[in-house]
Amino acid sequence: MRTETDSFGPMEVADDALYGAQTARALANFQLSDERLPDRFIQACLAIKAAASRANSELGVLEADVSNAIVAACHSAEQLDFKQQFPVDVYQTGSGTSTNMNVNEVLATLASRNSGVKVNPNDHVNASQSSNDTIPAAIQISAVLALESQLLPALTALNNCIEERGVAFADVIKTGRTHLMDAMPISVQQEFSAWCETLSTNQRRLQQCLTRLKALPQGGTAIGTGINAPDGFADRFCFHLNHQLQSDFCPHNNPFYGISMQDATLELSSILRAIAVALIKISNDLRWMNSGPLAGLAEIALPALQPGSSIMPGKVNPVIPEAVIMASYQVMGFDSAIALCAQSGNFQLNVTLPLIARNLLQGIELLSQACQHLDHKALRKLSIQQVNIERPLQLNPVLVTALNPIVGYQKAAEIAKAAYQEGRPILDVAGEMTDLSEQELIKLLDPKRLAHPES
């Protein structure tokens, strides 16, 4: 152990730790869980420190050698064991000050060791910043990077896969279902198109939200007034951040709002919840369509990935949709917590920022993986059980709906009831109970035409 000092006095710190006294205090104070903030969040903090250091050098706040040492330390820190050097619990001070100081202390140590220049965590690494604008900015930056590198590509790939499989099954006509009961015919492509549309809609929502996430409160420092940040800091900060990340972040036009409110992250969370709901819907449809193999619908066969029972030999379960459903439920739980967090913006600061950061990034990660699993381990290898689809389709009494304009609803209902009770094709019963010819009935009751009435 070694002794480090902060404004509270001396503190014992492990010899192999790059952090200092404030981080050590946080480790002693906060032992609620073994959960850390995600690596991507720490990476966003490092990007902030590098961009801030460059801006501070340009604006005369830092000497060039100090700024260069901090920037080099940010690059070195990327190679560290994050779990060891950034170990502060998610459940900490609500501003995230402990994590901000953890990053500041690690960078100060690295910068001092590697350059020979004395670098202070508060006076130099944290110059023109506070936890109150750095942590909200890091939440938004890390969320943007996660969306652009993980979730948006995963949604696109899943959407493309569903669309391709739909085209391959365009000629497969099956019984539609409402209330889990037989309804009018639908093609598998039409059924899949609804899944594509919900994914596309949510992709557009994410793209629109990105614009708001990229407006950063950095430069507002403690409460939005910009105290201790030089004029032009926010603009120069974003310039350097964009150069580092190849992005288009900008200063928020109202840093008071950016620091005290969490509207943009709440909006993002609600979109993640909507995506989770869509994945649950798709997964449950797949489970129902795959049910059987003898006593269920058995319209499709999902890939057999593992034994489904410890007691029933030969049983195979739809494990990927089930896993996706559980992941999606967790994302919905994250959203509920984020909604509670977002309302905790007391006066000029939200005091639940670390939990928002953790939940957003874990939610994005879970949904990205869920999309990839549905894509690669379920939909790509899904097969159609044609015999099981055709048999009930021909007997479906709801086909009589096509005769409503000709024989009337009441007569059509009588035909449907008779066909169902007798277990006979609607075509045969309608031929006996109406004056329509067999050719007319074949045309009117053709499931393909009913699925595509415009053709």
Please give the average per-residue pLDDT across 270-280, as a whole number.
98
For residues 204-224, give the mean pLDDT. Answer: 98
Active-site residue, selected from the candidate residues 309, 336, 383, 437 = 309
Q: Residues 435-447: what's their mean pLDDT?
A: 94
d(CA 283, CA 323): 9
**Amino acid 71: pLDDT:** 98
pLDDT higher than 90, residue 148 = yes
Quickly state the pLDDT bin for 147 (edges 50, 70, 90). Answer: very high
Q: Is a pLDDT exceeding 80 seen at residue 455?
A: no
Task: Give me the chain's average pLDDT, please.
Answer: 97
Is 75 tagged catalytic?
no
- Tell me what pLDDT residue 345 has: 82
Can you tell me the mean pLDDT for 334-342? 98
Is pTM beyond 0.85? Reply is yes
Is 373 assigned a catalytic role?
Answer: no
Q: Tell me: the pLDDT tens digits for 85-94? A: 999 999 999 9
Q: Is the peptide bond before 293 cis (omega within 30 degrees of 0)?
A: yes
pLDDT band at 235 (very low <50, low <70, confident <90, very high): very high
- How far is residue 269's CA from residue 359's CA, in Å, rounded to a whole number? 9
Domains in the chain with CATH codes? 2-127 (1.10.275.10), 140-212+258-387 (1.20.200.10), 396-451 (1.10.40.30)
pLDDT tens by residue, 9-26: 999 999 999 999 999 999
Residue 454 — very low, low, confident or very high, per pLDDT cuts 50/70/90? Answer: confident
Give the model's pLDDT for residue 394.
86
- Alpha carbon distance 373, 166 (integer Å): 18
pLDDT attached to residue 20: 97
Average pLDDT over residues 293-300: 96
DSSP β-bridge partners for residue 178: 181
